[in-house]
Amino acid sequence: MRQNNFIYTFKYDTHNSELCKLESRQLFGEQEQNNFLFSNVAIDPSISPFIKSRFEINLSSDNYDDLLDLVRQEAIHKDGFKAEYLVLNGDDTKYQDRLSKLKDIGYCIEGDPDYTNPSIIYSICRYNGQWHFGLLEKHDSDWFKHKNKPCSFSSAINMDIAKTLVSIATKGDKSKNILDAGCGVGTVMLEACVSGFEVEGVDIHWKACVATRKNLAHYNYDANVIRTDLKDLNNCYDSAIIDLPYNLYTHSDDISTLNMIASAAKLAKRLVIVSTADIKKQITESDLEIIDFCTVGKKGKKFERNIWVCEKYD
Ligand SMILES: C[S@@+](CC[C@H](N)C(=O)[O-])C[C@H]1O[C@@H](n2cnc3c(N)ncnc32)[C@H](O)[C@@H]1O
């Protein structure tokens, strides 16, 4: 039987459901269901806007008292710890019972607890009659600060979509470098930087480059922004993200779309492309294979974006 090392929990609004499932397929090779997922893949939960926490399973038992014995046998001594009960969908353990179980766990661990600023969180959860004990890593919401970036414009992509584009493009591998092709005001770059990815941005418009540099500097991020037409760039990247012009404030037509996609395909093996139009034809003409796709709506609006995950044929 397959042994899973981690349980991931998810939270997302309905309009982001398809995007979350696309990200889950690309990161874990399978879709989350009921807002959680058992997996062997180790992903930093903070790279995704939808992953709430990562529970690393250390000990398991179908008997609760046996699980406590197993925890005691570990002879854990840790100052600054906190214990939390992770409620998975389907676990009907009542609140008071959960509290008393937390106390049980706390008494199995030696050291002074810290409830406000813990250095480590031990956790228990129950799924399908099995009790699990392990380490809980929570999503760090530090990236919310980007809401107040100094420069913005109406064609900028939502922060949560930008964050997902980065995780999909890299599959969560922090050794991968990314190109933000047509960086606008740098929404994608900010999300790459806060998660520790190496990223470079390019835009044909000098005003966009100035705005992106200003935004990056505001948060003390160190990333290069190049002002050029994408077709004239010669660097190499593991992946490229293209948020195509929507033809609202920036010009777009089939030829310029094809030029952007074909140019990016020369620079990176893996591309994640955002479009409002159907661009299957331009993707195929750029010798790329579409490996995954979804449509994402805007909360309360009719506006829809297509997200295309593409790779170069070998
Ligand atoms: C939809 S906007 C990107 C918005 C960006 N993701 C953000 O959130 O700020 C598309 C960008 O592509 C840029 N662009 C269009 N054609 C380009 C080209 N040939 N080379 C480089 N950038 C280009 C535009 O100047 C524009 O800033």
Structural contact between residues 255 and 231, judged by C-beta atoms closer than 8 angstroms: no
Cα–Cα dist 299/306, whole Å: 15
Burial group, residue 16, by CB count within 10 angstroms (0-12, 13-18, 19+)? buried
Centroid of ligand 1 to alpha carbon of 61 (angstroms)? 53
Backbone angles phi, psi at 22, to 5 degrees: -65, -45
Token pair for 238? 């593991």
pLDDT score for 300: 67
pLDDT score for 215: 98
Q: Are strands 198-203 and 177-181 parallel, antiparallel or unpaired?
A: parallel
Token pair for 226? 């190049």
Ligand 1 contact via 212 beta carbon (within 6 Å): no
Distances (CA, A) of 219 to 143, 147, 194, 265: 10, 12, 9, 30
Ligand 1 contact via 184 beta carbon (within 6 Å): yes
Token pair for 26? 């690309």
Centroid of ligand 1 to alpha carbon of 294 (angstroms)? 21
Cα–Cα dist 190/207, whole Å: 17
Centroid of ligand 1 to alpha carbon of 158 (angstroms)? 15
Mean pLDDT per 10-residue segment, the chain (314 residues)? 84 95 98 95 98 98 98 97 96 97 96 96 97 98 98 92 98 98 98 98 98 98 98 97 77 83 97 95 96 88 89 88
Tokens 């930008």 sit on residue: 162
Cα–Cα dist 309/293, whole Å: 6
* Alpha carbon of residue 141 to chain centroid: 12
**Domains along the sequence of the chain with CATH:** 6-138 (3.30.2130.30), 144-312 (3.40.50.150)
Ligand 1 contact via 152 beta carbon (within 6 Å): no
* Alpha carbon of residue 89 to chain centroid: 21
182-205 in b/e burial notation, b at 16+ Cβ within 10 A? bbbbbbbbbbbbbbebbbbbbbbe
Cα–Cα dist 77/100, whole Å: 21
